[in-house]
């Protein structure tokens, strides 16, 4: 017992020493090569514009801190909507794979195999090219529904009290989805949904057949057996791996830089480049993703405990 404690203490000391050594070297190297360090730059004027701001106010006269917050808001927006849409699409696909209808099951299977075996960044380029190269410019916009315009500048739609109108170069007013946001959202949703479909399928299959048979023998219909017995049991197998898919989607949203969506990584990269402070910039990116991921995990763990069978050890 005593010896174990000593080993533990030695380990902690070694880790602390290593960190201290890295810290000292970094500070020394930055100092000798006259590279600025510290977080004072966060309060300085950013000086660059950001294409979309998730409804928050921002101008080039704001600080780097504000710019990074806009980046975080953009990451959060695409991840939150993506998680919801990917879950819906994934559950539908997973159930479709188990459907008695041969064609439906095969189509869903083909979708899953195709989408999850093509790199996500390639899919993002595909969706982005589809929007920016195939849709017409704002002056020749498509209008599939009254007041809804499809252009290579994005999708514009009316909101209560405000309709999009062509002013000069572009549409103003109403609501808008930029091509970058739309491509990223579609890409993340369709990609993650393929993985969620497999998790749902595995979860449903993990419920012993006897459970369903028992429900049927009690007089439940197939649909009732599925929604009252099979799915609630399957949920317990689904939630833990689902958590890691939510984390993946959130982290994958950093591929946004490839297609120009101003997410946190994109803004942080620009900040690193304008200020030259790579260590601080990378530290901010890591801290933010760690916080986001741990928050998602904590929420999903709470939810997992809530749906767990009481008194049964998983």
Q: Contact residues for another protein (CB under 8 A)?
A: 22, 25-26, 28-30, 32-36, 47-51, 59-61, 129, 132-133, 136-137, 152-153, 167-170, 172, 179-180, 254-255, 257-260, 262, 265-266, 269-270, 272-276, 278-279, 281-282, 285
CA gap 167, 103 in Å, rounded: 48
Query: Of the two residues 170 and 248, which places its CB atom closer to another protein in the complex?
Result: 170
CA gap 156, 207 in Å, rounded: 45
Query: Of the two residues 108 and 176, which places its CB atom closer to another protein in the complex?
Result: 176
Query: Of the two residues 199 and 264, which places its CB atom closer to another protein in the complex?
Result: 264
**3-state SS, one letter per residue, for 71-93:** HHHHHHHHHHHHHHHHHHHHHHH
Q: How far is the CB of 295 from another protein (least distance, A)?
A: 21
CA gap 157, 176 in Å, rounded: 6
Query: Of the two residues 43 and 60, which places its CB atom closer to another protein in the complex?
Result: 60
Query: Of the two residues 129 and 294, which places its CB atom closer to another protein in the complex?
Result: 129
Q: How far is the CB of 40 from another protein (least distance, A)?
A: 11
Q: How far is the CB of 269 from another protein (least distance, A)?
A: 5
Closest to 257 (Cα-Cα) out of 84, 78, 137: 78
CA gap 74, 279 in Å, rounded: 23
Query: Of the two residues 159 and 167, which places its CB atom closer to another protein in the complex?
Result: 167
Q: How far is the CB of 42 from another protein (least distance, A)?
A: 15
For the beta carbon of residue 281, count every other beta carbon within 10 angstroms: 23
CA gap 241, 257 in Å, rounded: 27
Q: Torsion over CA of 105, 110, 113 and 114, rounded to 10 degrees?
A: -150
Query: Of the two residues 180 and 198, which places its CB atom closer to another protein in the complex?
Result: 180
CA gap 276, 178 in Å, rounded: 30
Question: Left (φ > 0), alpha (ψ -120 to 50) or beta: where does 50 sit?
Answer: beta
User: How many CA atoms are closer than 13 Å to the CA of 176, on its beta-carbon side?
Assistant: 22
CA gap 306, 314 in Å, rounded: 13
Q: How far is the CB of 108 from another protein (least distance, A)?
A: 32
Query: Of the two residues 22 and 299, which places its CB atom closer to another protein in the complex?
Result: 22
Q: How far is the CB of 176 from another protein (least distance, A)?
A: 10
Query: Of the two residues 98 and 257, which places its CB atom closer to another protein in the complex?
Result: 257
Element housing 310 (H / E)? none
Q: How far is the CB of 301 from another protein (least distance, A)?
A: 26
For the beta carbon of residue 50, count every other beta carbon within 10 angstroms: 21
Q: How far is the CB of 66 from another protein (least distance, A)?
A: 14
CA gap 80, 78 in Å, rounded: 6
CA gap 185, 192 in Å, rounded: 11
Written as six digits, the tokens of 174 are 């109403």
Q: How far is the CB of 242 from another protein (least distance, A)?
A: 24
């Amino acid at each position: 017992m005593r010896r174990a404690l000593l080993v533990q203490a030695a380990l902690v000391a070694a880790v602390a020493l290593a960190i201290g050594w890295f810290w000292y070297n970094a500070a020394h190297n930055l100092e000798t090569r006259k590279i600025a360090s510290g977080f004072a730059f966060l309060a300085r004027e950013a000086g660059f514009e950001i294409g979309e701001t998730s409804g928050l106010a921002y101008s080039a006269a704001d600080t780097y801190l504000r710019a990074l917050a806009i980046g975080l808001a953009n990451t959060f927006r695409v991840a939150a909507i993506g998680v919801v849409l990917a879950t819906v699409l994934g559950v539908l696909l997973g159930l479709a794979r188990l459907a008695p209808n041969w064609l439906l099951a095969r189509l869903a299977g083909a979708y899953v195999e195709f989408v999850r075996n093509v790199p996500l960044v390639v899919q993002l380029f595909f969706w982005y090219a589809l929007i920016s190269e195939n849709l017409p410019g704002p002056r020749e916009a498509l209008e599939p529904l009254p007041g809804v315009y499809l252009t290579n500048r994005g999708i514009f739609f009316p909101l209560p009290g405000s309709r999009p109108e062509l002013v000069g170069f572009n549409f103003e007013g109403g609501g808008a989805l930029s091509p970058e946001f739309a491509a990223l959202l579609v890409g993340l949703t369709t990609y993650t949904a393929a993985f969620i479909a497999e998790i749902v399928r595995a979860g449903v299959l993990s419920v012993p057949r006897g459970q369903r048979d028992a429900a049927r023998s009690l007089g439940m219909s197939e649909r009732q057996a599925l929604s009252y017995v099979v799915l609630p049991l399957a949920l317990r197998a689904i939630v833990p791996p689902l958590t890691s898919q939510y984390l993946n989607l959130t982290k994958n949203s950093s591929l946004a830089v490839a297609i120009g969506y101003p997410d946190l990584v994109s803004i942080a990269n620009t900040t690193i480049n304008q200020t030259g402070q790579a260590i601080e910039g990378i530290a901010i990116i890591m801290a933010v993703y760690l916080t986001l991921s741990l928050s998602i995990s904590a929420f999903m763990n709470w939810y997992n405990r809530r749906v767990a069978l009481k008194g049964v050890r998983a």
